[in-house]
Each structure stands twice: as C-alpha cells, then as structure tokens.
C-alpha cells in the first residue's frame, strides 16, 4: 500500500519510536497526526508534515477527537501506528514489598487497553472509507516488545501488557480482513530511546553486549523503516516481527 497521499495516526508520536515513525512517514508523503500527552508535546521537535495533537490513548473521547479531525477526501486514514507505552519496573515481590496493584493496572491500561482503544476506533474510520485499487483500506501496526516472550526480573507488568498486544494481533487481523485492513505487530529489542537513556549509559552498554549482531542498540529510525516496509508489503498480515539483533533476554 502506498504511503504518499494518505493520513497516518501515530500514538506516542512526540518522542522515541513514535517521533521517528511520524517523521519518516511524513518524509514519504503522508500527512501525520502524532498523538501524545500534553507534557510530551511540549518537548517535541516539530517536523514538516507532522501535526502534534494532545490526547490520551486510554480516552475514547480524546482518540475519537483526533480521528474526527481527519478529512478523508483530502487524505484518507490508511496507516495507524501504536507506539504509546510506559515501562515501570517492579518485582512481584522484592525489597520494596509486594508489587502494587495500581502500577500493574496502569501499565495494562496504557500499553494494552490503549492500543486496543486506538485500534478499534481507527478501524471504524478506515473501514468506512473507499478501498484503494487493490481493495485495501488500511494497515495497523502495533508495538509489543521482546519482553512479551522473555520478560526480565521486574517486568511482570510490562511483559503482561506486551504479551497481550502480541495476542491481539492475529484475531484483530482476522476480524478486520473483510474490511481490507491488515494488522501486524513489531516486537523491538533494545532501542536507544529517551526511556532507555534515562537508565544511564552503563545500562545501555550492558544491554548492547547481549545483542547477537550487530552489537549495538537499535535506532528509532530502524523501527520506522520496518513500519514503512510493513505498510508497503501487502502480503504481511497477522504477524509479530521481532526487531532485536538476535537478542534473547536473560533474567536480569
């Protein structure tokens, strides 16, 4: 499916994977709506073709408001990329005590329910638009993590949320096939994003050593490149694709 002349919605679009994806899709001719929290948008760098819109992925009203601003006659919504997410670390039981329920609930709400919320509302918009010459109406790309398969100590909430994203991929693709909408998921390994940088250089260097090859952290633009490939590769559907340099995460 072509990127040029379409509208793309990218959540978490103010920084990290989302910002790189929004800029990349805009550079390839899409009109991009980058949805993020207000505090994220305040710090975001502007990019030509990218409209920063404040909104919470867990809010049906705020996601719908962003979708309502799209003019399907000018550039129909064809691409949705879910990058919004959080990753607090807490052991099920550790020196800080038992894992609190609210943190677990918040991670599930943002990473899993937020992804589902955007997917369901965006799919309704896409399904009611005209198909392209190949019968396609759109592509949804969700973001999981290798933690969905090899969660480390302290990642019980994060792994549960990303495992849920992986689990939604095939049934969502099956649900939306009749509407001409494909659904795929990317499971990144260790990507050099602001979220990782906050942990310090020593942590990043240690993680890079675990990568099979190349022995470095992934770049956000490599994630964006894979998004473009998924969009343009019409036969990719219902798949979860690891982008991890061959890493298999150790317990810690």
Residues tagged active-site: 158
Cβ atoms of residues 19 and 221 within 8 Å: no
Cis link prior to 192 (omega < 30° from 0)? no
Q: Give me the helix-helix angle, 156-176 and 114-127, nearest 10°.
A: 20
Distance CA 214, CA 39 (A): 34
Q: How far apart are CA 65 and CA 53, in angstroms?
A: 10
Nearest Cα residue to 59 out of 110, 8, 6: 110
Check: CB of residue 80 under 8 Å from CB of residue 188: no
Residue 105 has, within 13 A of its CA and on its CB side, a CA count of: 3
* DSSP string over 190-214: SB--HHHHTT-HHHHHHHHHT-SSS
């Amino acid at each position: 499916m072509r990127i040029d002349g379409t509208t793309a919605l990218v959540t978490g679009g103010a920084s990290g994977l989302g910002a790189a994806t929004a800029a990349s899709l805009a550079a390839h001719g899409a009109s991009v709506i980058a949805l993020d929290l207000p505090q994220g948008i305040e710090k975001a760098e502007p990019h030509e073709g990218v409209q920063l819109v404040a909104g919470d992925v867990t809010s049906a009203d705020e996601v719908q408001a962003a979708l309502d601003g799209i003019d399907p006659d000018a550039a129909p919504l064809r691409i949705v990329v879910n990058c919004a997410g959080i990753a607090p670390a807490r052991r099920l039981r550790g020196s800080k005590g038992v894992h609190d329920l609210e943190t677990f609930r918040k991670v599930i709400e943002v990473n899993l329910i937020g992804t589902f919320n955007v997917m369901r509302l965006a799919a309704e918009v896409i399904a009611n638009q005209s198909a392209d010459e190949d019968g396609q109406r759109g592509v949804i790309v969700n973001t999981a993590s290798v933690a969905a398969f090899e969660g480390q100590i302290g990642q019980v909430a994060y792994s549960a949320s990303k495992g849920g994203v992986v689990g939604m991929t095939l049934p969502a693709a099956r649900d939306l096939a009749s509407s001409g909408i494909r659904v795929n998921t990317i499971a990144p390994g260790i990507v050099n994003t602001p979220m990782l940088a906050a942990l310090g250089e020593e942590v990043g260097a240690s993680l890079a050593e675990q990568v099979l090859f190349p022995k470095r952290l992934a770049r956000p633009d490599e994630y964006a490149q894979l998004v473009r490939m998924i969009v343009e590769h019409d036969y990719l559907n219902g798949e979860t694709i690891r982008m991890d340099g061959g890493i298999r995460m150790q317990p810690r």
